[in-house]
Structure 1
């Protein structure tokens, strides 16, 4: 049996105070919340090595995944990154200032604008995503392949049940 953790302690305290309630959901949600906070900190640390925040990494990764010519219209960029157009504008402004993206005319529609990776932006995101994947691998080292697949299956099913 594993040693009690902070979630076990918290739920035991609640059971003592409110024995009429089922605190078992906290065993899952509490651990997931703690893990999410820890993982976010670990991921952000890698992004920071490349001068990026979460949002900037997300924009660069979205542009890189789009393939040649690594350009996406701002509205589509907002949909793909699941943030508001205002948030995309702020992120793109920071990336333009750092020389990692540029705003350009759409080659297919001269009236439209796109956000495009610069060569420097492509180098940064290619290096950052390589480091990001190595970091994710490190964070998953405590789980074997079967545990990873089982966790992936459970998280997918849970997400589908919640519509996310």
Structure 2
């Protein structure tokens, strides 16, 4: 899970745009040290901040900052434009087939957000 993935995962989580570090470790399939280092770098850039859970001070959440929102919006515009370019030669049926196969792959990988 790279910085772009962390930013977009937080953005998709909805207000207050935060998740526990454990949720990222589970999704990333990398060591806790790798996630910690990535979050450290992103925090130093002002993209995310660590906040203690008010209900359980042992729990640390990673929250998207306003700068993180801005960077995510910029990246998403570029990302969507690139996707449109890559899919430009696909007709509607091919896009639907690709989407179905990608959904199946995500479910197989354990993504429980897919319906």
Please, which of 8, 13, 33 is the counterpart of residue 86 of structure 1? 33
Q: Which has the larger radius of gyration?
A: 1
Work out which of the residue numbers 45, 49, 52 in structure 2 matches 1:102: 49
| Structure 1 segment 142-157 matched on structure 2, within 5 A | 142-154=89-101, 156=103
Please give the per-residue CA displacement for 1:72-103, whole angstroms capped at 9, x wherever unaligned: 11011222334332221121111011110111
Deviation for aligned residue 1:55: 0.2
For the pair 1:73 / 2:20, whether they are aligned, the reply is yes
CA, structure 1 residues 80+108, in 2 after alignment: closer, same or farther (shift >3 Å)? farther
The residue that corresponds to 1:55 in the other structure is 2
Q: Secondary structure at the match of 1:132?
A: helix
In the TM superposition, residue 155 of structure 1 has moved relative to its aligned partner by 5.0
Cα shift at 1:111: 2.5
Matched residue, 2:87: 140
Coordinate RMSD, CA, aligned: 2.0
* Structure 2 residues not aligned, in runs of 5+: 110-115
* Greater relative contact order, per chain length (Cα 8 Å cut-off, separation 6+): 2
After TM superposition, the score normalised by the length of structure 1 is 0.58
- Decide whether the 8 Å contact of 1:62 with 1:80 is kept in 2: no
Count of equivalent residues: 108
- Relative to its length, the structure with more helix (as a share) is 1
Q: Is the 8 A contact 1:62 1:81 kept in 2?
A: no
TM (norm. structure 2) is 0.80
Measured at CA, do residues 151 and 67 of structure 1 come closer, stay the same or move farther in structure 2, by a change above 3 Å?
closer
Three-state SS of the structure 2 residue aligned to 1:137 is helix
Please say which of residues 101-110 and 81-90 is displaced more in the overlay. Answer: 81-90
Q: 1:156 to 1:103 in 2, by over 3 A?
A: closer
